[in-house]
Structure 1
């Protein structure tokens, strides 16, 4: 009897439930797809030579274990290039997606007002909360971001001040901190993530380290790092074969004492010993650089004494640099650990790059500015396991104007028509380079002989196989118009403003270290002619001609067929 009653009860319940299901209207709730968070991490002057994943002579030192692991979990770009290897123009290109003459930022004096801070503006349109922490260097207030905490200009390595939003006009709202900049910048980013971000929105965060920009100052905990390690040295530190031209060396190497800051004592205006040793110690230990006679072979003096001196400086230089890199790598780990603890790591697109490359003794050069690959190439890799395959790699050519369009499209937006860069989202997601993808990139360095570095102004084109550079420095100053706005006093060194005009050409497949300027080699005549045509077209298409600089165009016209 109990079983029969139970049967009828269950039947009635199921029947009622069925009637209820039939009469209840279907839910129209739509589950909104969650947008990915985006963190763009950029270190200052972190060059590809100072990674494991780029396979340089320094790779075996394992300088970047965290970054290497992150890179292998996503896609690595082998041909990412800067448009101008100097801080402000590079950062402007990244924020605007535009070339220098379009954005108006051609040099370190360039500014980027709020109305041109396009990347954060576009991300906000897509519903993102935006923030920037660390180095900004674009002079005007980063007001397009919802939140900012940025260094004044270059900032300090130790106990840095930061400019923030506040009651006073920019840049008067300043907070003081204690500690090393890499640690403090990461502390500030983590503070924003934990306390200031809106969990209901996706976030777009730019996390910019000051390190490893020179003059190098590492956190004290790294003082013993690599202390007893011999750092591999590039052959071109001592022997340079047929690298360069009369534009970079002068006739019979007559300009080598003043062109391009050096590791060795070659350059008497700025060499690395001046940066890393107290002045008296230099003179006491090694003597005065001016005592070395100027000869045809001064540029790479191979005496035992000079080799010992140069090697000593190089070893100390690289250890200071790599100690700063180590601090960056460790702080990136702190950031990744937090994202993992919060359960948002795999829903966050993480980009890592430098704002340009950096010369680590190659060709006896320090600093950047050059169109040579160590200076022009940017490290670049992206981790996002939801759409980017791990252990993927591409040799597709990208440049820093492509970053903004790519981030915008990855966030679900459309590439703005006013941006000159192109989104490479398809490459990230498929691993395939589209047939119509760019086959070359354009480069331009404007700041002729600036800031004691002594790099001549130049522009050029780079493909996967070749590089063509034109140095036009001889007529940089417009003597017919001495008051013209392009005659910037802060640029040229008075002792030799007029440097020779010259072309350089490198076959990168046969000569990846750029040791042989083959411009005069007849077998490359057709290749060079084709590159010149491409270069002319690119300058026109990118709004990078010299129509506004007739004195430079005059040089171009006179020497184009040299």
Structure 2
């Protein structure tokens, strides 16, 4: 009995130490901030070495990236806002989560990412752009924009006494500042400081129409923005699917910087039919004069395209500047509060964006400027500063990775794969995915006029198939239809075609060499991989027989 009396205090002390260690471990669990900007493409950074890198557009983001791991081959599954965000929040592909276009929705029961984080003991929050239409009710806290939201004086939907979406907070200022204000308010005043947090912070910027804060009016005002050569020279880029026979579709396919696309372009305010030089050309009487005036027209068009491009890029980069400056506000707060070292910080965009390459604006394309996402992660405890990888990841992989970094395991229902080991070791496993699959569904939608297509991208090659068909009403496969909300009145299908790019020889995708005999073995292998991926990912066209018919007809052509 005397022995037990002496032993009891030791056992009690051991119990206290054990409980203390458990509490300490819980408190030390890393906080996680997932930051995503809208349309912030890799060309708009210093770290990705684009033609714009010399402008130093993102000093704060570059510093953050260099303190962790930078991904050079992060790709979106569908370069359009809602499907990308759905893939991230579910860890699933389009036909599994049900979101194929901008009208897709994710109901609270399918908001898997925050649900899984709550299971791991995290308080969850989302601030900024949501765009998945249903209430983000799976989060413990939210303050989100309605739909796309406004650049100036945005209102936010919040929790409250009324049913979603009737609880509204009105703010006054630029959206990038207001969204960061909301995030800092959450971190300072709204969270439980004894519990780790998972926060999704989503900027609206730099989404088109690039309405920047007034303080950036003079930023880059006197700077010439480097222009892509492909803005003026198309080369052998594209195919009959995007250019038409004898370039007959170039006036309507792919929204442009120049006047090339007559349906949607950045130069819509100028109408050449009313210009003096156009009238001179129209009234030319002899071939010599006609050719001279045509040359003058071409020179004038190039000069005007350059002016439009300079305006376009300066507005874009001013929005990016607002994002970058607000990132510093966040980092300063985290450092002041002693949270920086124990917080995993992820930064990405919801897709890429065309900044004049091939004379394209917007996204949607499977070309790299549109398909590639910026992506980097900082976490000093586990991720080596200054590390970089060319491992292929896609946006369905984000949720599984963050779940595992938080101490969980990837749910079986998620199609994405965790790349936690790549972050922690800097090494790509031998069995890691060697390719990624892409699918754009919204055929000729929203006056951007991008044909529907799918394809495969490896580190070395890209293979794209444009099937050129609308959807159908699956209740009646013979009825072809197009969603009214897509704003498309173009009544013809576009020609099916393949495109193949050797990315080692042709990283800017200027030379479609699909028909070169020397590429046949590579292309055949890519088609086998593509077929298998579509089956494995539940991305076939079994429900769209009119599309499958085109695929079958053109697969071996």
Q: 1:457–1:471: 8 Å Cα contact kept in structure 2?
A: yes
Residue 482 of structure 1 and its aligned partner are, at CA, apart by 7.7
Distance, in Å, in 2 between the alignment partners of 1:483 and 1:114 is 35
**SS at the partner of 1:506?**
strand
**SS at the partner of 1:395?**
strand
Aligned partner (choices 403, 419, 426) of residue 421 of structure 2: 426
| Distance change in 2, residues 1:399/1:383 (3 Å) | same
Aligned partner (choices 246, 251, 274) of residue 240 of structure 2: 246
Q: Which residue of 2 aligns with 1:308?
A: 303
Distance, in Å, in 2 between the alignment partners of 1:287 and 1:511 is 38
Distance, in Å, in 1 between the alignment partners of 2:502 and 2:121 is 46
Aligned partner (choices 319, 331, 341) of residue 336 of structure 2: 341
Alignment of 1:113-192 (within 5 A): 113-192=107-186
Q: Is 1:237 the equivalent of 2:224?
A: no
Alignment of 1:73-472 (within 5 A): 73-274=67-268, 279=269, 282-283=270-271, 287=275, 303-472=298-467
Q: 1:73–1:391: 8 Å Cα contact kept in structure 2?
A: yes
| Distance change in 2, residues 1:340/1:290 (3 Å) | farther
Residue 273 of structure 1 and its aligned partner are, at CA, apart by 2.6
Distance, in Å, in 1 between the alignment partners of 2:208 and 2:531 is 35
Residue 272 of structure 1 and its aligned partner are, at CA, apart by 1.2
Distance, in Å, in 2 between the alignment partners of 1:422 and 1:38 is 19
TM-score by length of 1: 0.91
Q: Is 1:27 the equivalent of 2:21?
A: no
Q: Deviations over 1:238-260 (max 9, x none)?
A: 01110000000111111111111
| Distance change in 2, residues 1:482/1:289 (3 Å) | farther
**SS at the partner of 2:200?**
strand
Moved more, 503-512 or 24-33: 24-33
Q: Which runs of 5+ in 2 are unaligned?
A: 283-294
Distance, in Å, in 1 between the alignment partners of 2:144 and 2:327 is 18
| Distance change in 2, residues 1:349/1:484 (3 Å) | farther
| Distance change in 2, residues 1:516/1:302 (3 Å) | farther
Q: Which has the larger radius of gyration?
A: 1
| Distance change in 2, residues 1:486/1:422 (3 Å) | farther
Q: 2:29–2:406: 8 Å Cα contact kept in structure 1?
A: yes
CA RMSD of aligned residues (A): 2.3
Q: Which residue of 2 aligns with 1:10?
A: none
| Distance change in 2, residues 1:333/1:267 (3 Å) | same
TM-score by length of 2: 0.92
Q: Which residue of 2 aligns with 1:296?
A: none
**SS at the partner of 2:429?**
coil
Aligned length: 532
Q: 1:476–1:498: 8 Å Cα contact kept in structure 2?
A: no
Q: Deviations over 1:449-473 (max 9, x none)?
A: 0000000000000000000000001
Q: Is 1:37 the equivalent of 2:34?
A: no
**SS at the partner of 1:454?**
coil
Q: 1:449–1:497: 8 Å Cα contact kept in structure 2?
A: no
Distance, in Å, in 2 between the alignment partners of 1:318 and 1:35 is 41
Q: 2:400–2:410: 8 Å Cα contact kept in structure 1?
A: yes
Q: Deviations over 1:407-437 (max 9, x none)?
A: 0000000110000000000000000000000
| Distance change in 2, residues 1:561/1:333 (3 Å) | same
Residue 21 of structure 1 and its aligned partner are, at CA, apart by 10
Distance, in Å, in 2 between the alignment partners of 1:394 and 1:355 is 20
| Distance change in 2, residues 1:116/1:271 (3 Å) | same
Moved runs in structure 1, 4+ residues, more than 4 A? 19-26, 283-293, 474-486
**SS at the partner of 2:143?**
strand
Distance, in Å, in 2 between the alignment partners of 1:121 and 1:81 is 24
Q: Deviations over 1:340-381 (max 9, x none)?
A: 000010100000000000000000000000000000000000
Distance, in Å, in 1 between the alignment partners of 2:496 and 2:296 is 25
Residue 512 of structure 1 and its aligned partner are, at CA, apart by 0.1
Q: Which residue of 2 aligns with 1:70?
A: 64
Q: Deviations over 1:522-546 (max 9, x none)?
A: 0000000000000000000000000
Residue 483 of structure 1 and its aligned partner are, at CA, apart by 8.2
**SS at the partner of 2:36?**
strand
Distance, in Å, in 1 between the alignment partners of 2:537 and 2:196 is 33
